[in-house]
Amino acid sequence: MPDRRHTRWMRIRVLLATGFLLVCTAVVLYRVWNLQVNQSSWLRELSQGQYLKEITLEPMRGPIEDRQGAPMAVSVMTESVFAMPGQLTDPRLAGKKLAQVLGLDPKRLVRKLSSRKHFTWVKRRLSTELAQQVRDLSLPGVHFTAESRRFYPSRDLASSVIGFAGDGRGLEGVELMFDGELRGSTVLAQGLRDARGQLLFSEGVELPALVRGGGLVLTLDRTIQEIAETVLEETVSSTGAKAATAIVLEPHSGEILAMANVPTFNPNTFWKFTAARFRNRAVTDCYEPGSTLKIFTMAAALSAGVLQPEDRIDCQRGSFVIGAHTIHDSHRGGFEELTPAEILMNSSNIGIAKIGARLGKQALYQGLRQFGFGRKTGIDLPGESRCRLRKAERWSDVGLATISFGQGISITPLQLTVAMGSIANGGVWMRPLVIKEIRGPANELVERFEPEPAGRVVSPAVARLLTHMMVKVTEPGGTGTGAAIAGLKVAGKTGTAQKVDSITGGYSKDRRVASFVGFVPADRPRVVVLVVVDEPTSSPYGGVVAAPAFARIADGALRYLGVFAEEELPRAEAMVPAPVQNVPPKQEESVLAELSGQANPSPRIVLALERLPDLRGLSVRQALGRLAPAGLEVVVSGSGRVKSQQPPPGSPVARTTLVKLGLEKSPNAAGTEIAVVSNRKKKR
- Name the average pLDDT for the chain: 81
* 239 backbone dihedrals φ, ψ, rounded to 5°: -100, -5
Highest mean pLDDT among 118-132, 430-444, 610-624: 430-444
* Beta-bridge partner residues of 145: 80
d(CA 201, CA 209): 17
Nearest residue to 469 via CA among 294, 345, 560: 345
Strands (E), 229-314: 243-250, 255-262, 313-314
H or E stretch including 107?
helix 106-113
Tell me if 518 sits within 8 A of 480, measured CB to CB: yes
Rg (the chain; Cα; Å): 35
CATH T-level fold of 570-678:
Trypsin Inhibitor V; Chain A (3.30.10)
Residues 6+ apart with CB under 8 A from 682: 599
Tell me if 339 sits within 8 A of 311, measured CB to CB: yes
Residue type, 580: V
Give residue limits of the domains in the chain.
4-38, 54-157+190-215, 222-566, 570-678
291 as an active site residue: the answer is: yes
Tell me if 183 sits within 8 A of 150, measured CB to CB: no
Label residue 649 by pLDDT band (50, 70, 90).
confident
Residues 6+ apart with CB under 8 A from 501: 507, 508, 511
d(CA 223, CA 642): 12
Right CATH for 222-566 from 3.40.710.10, 3.40.1160.10, 1.25.40.10, 3.10.310.70: 3.40.710.10
pLDDT digits (tens, 9 = 90+) for 129-151: 888 888 888 888 888 877 778 88
pLDDT of residue 345: 92
pLDDT of residue 544: 94
d(CA 103, CA 106): 9
What distance lies between CA 3 and its chain's CA centroid? 104
CATH architecture of 54-157+190-215: Alpha-Beta Complex (3.90)
In this structure, are strands 187-193 and 337-338 parallel, antiparallel, or unpaired?
unpaired
Which residue out of 154, 159, 253, 291 is catalytically annotated?
291
d(CA 135, CA 129): 10
pLDDT digits (tens, 9 = 90+) for 545-582: 999 999 999 999 999 998 887 655 433 333 233 333 33
Residue type, 616: R
Helix, strand, coil content of the chain in percent (nearest 5): 40, 25, 40
Write down the pTM of the prediction: 0.72
Tell me if 212 sits within 8 A of 62, measured CB to CB: yes
* Beta-bridge partner residues of 447: 438
| pLDDT above 70 (res 584) | no
Give mean pLDDT, residues 378-393.
94
Q: 54-157+190-215 and 570-678: same fold?
A: no
- Who has greater pLDDT, 603 or 215? 215
